[in-house]
Amino acid sequence: TQAKTLFPYTTLFRSMELANFELRRRNVRLSHHIAARLPPVLADAILIEQVLVNLMKNAAEAIDNEAMPVERREVHLEVESAQVDGKDVVRFVLCDRGKGLSEEVLSHLFEAFFTTKGEGLGIGLNLCRSIVESHQGRLHAENLYNAGDRQDVTGCCFSFWLPLQPVFSAD
């Protein structure tokens, strides 16, 4: 595998460009906000790019499969500095305006060979999780709700973070 180096944030734009074909094909808009002057993180740019592309394509597919109306056919990527559990991190958040995920699906989402797709293999999100965790980060999914109403789902967010100073294992 490629060595971890300082992550080039230009990779974010390349990821959006790579996923954009699938999004356009499914008539899904991609918006983004990338904070200025993000701090450096050590990461394998190709692997993080793969995680981002997979999450964007999954969001577009979910929106398209649910035949969401045009005003809800949007995916938004946000990248910012943050603190998670007392650690300085860069957080990547990808939200869609789809129908969300059931509690049952959320509880198994990152398991190997678990899929909600008719033709899915169930390895994409598991692989994404492994990639993020190999960078000492975490991947998380949660539904978005309308004004605290736990019944009115307005979308789903996948987020992951990478620490500014990762602690590498001895292996």
Average pLDDT over residues 144-156: 71
Average pLDDT over residues 117-134: 77
pLDDT digits (tens, 9 = 90+) for 3-53: 677 788 888 999 999 999 999 999 999 999 999 989 988 899 999 999 999
Residue in the structure block whose two tokens are 């008719």: 118
Phi, psi for residue 83 in degrees, rounded to 5:
-125, 130
Q: Give yes or no for residue 169 having a pLDDT over 70.
A: no
Among candidate residues 62, 47, 130, the one with its CA nearest the CA of residue 96 = 62
Cβ neighbours of residue 1 under 8 Å, at least 6 residues apart? 44, 47
Place of tokens 């180096």: 5
Token pair for 63: 């929106």
Which residue matches tokens 């500014």?
164
Is the pLDDT confidence value at 122 over 50? no
Question: Residue 105: its pLDDT value, please?
Answer: 73
Across the chain, which distance is largest between two alpha carbons, in Å? 50
Average pLDDT along the chain: 84
> Which has the minimum average pLDDT: 22-26, 28-32, 64-68, 72-76?
64-68
Amino acid at site 133: E
Alpha helices, DSSP H, located in the chain: 10-25, 45-65, 103-108, 124-134
Write the CB contacts of 167 (distance below 8 Å, at least 6 apart in sequence).
136
Q: Is the pLDDT of residue 1 over 50?
A: no
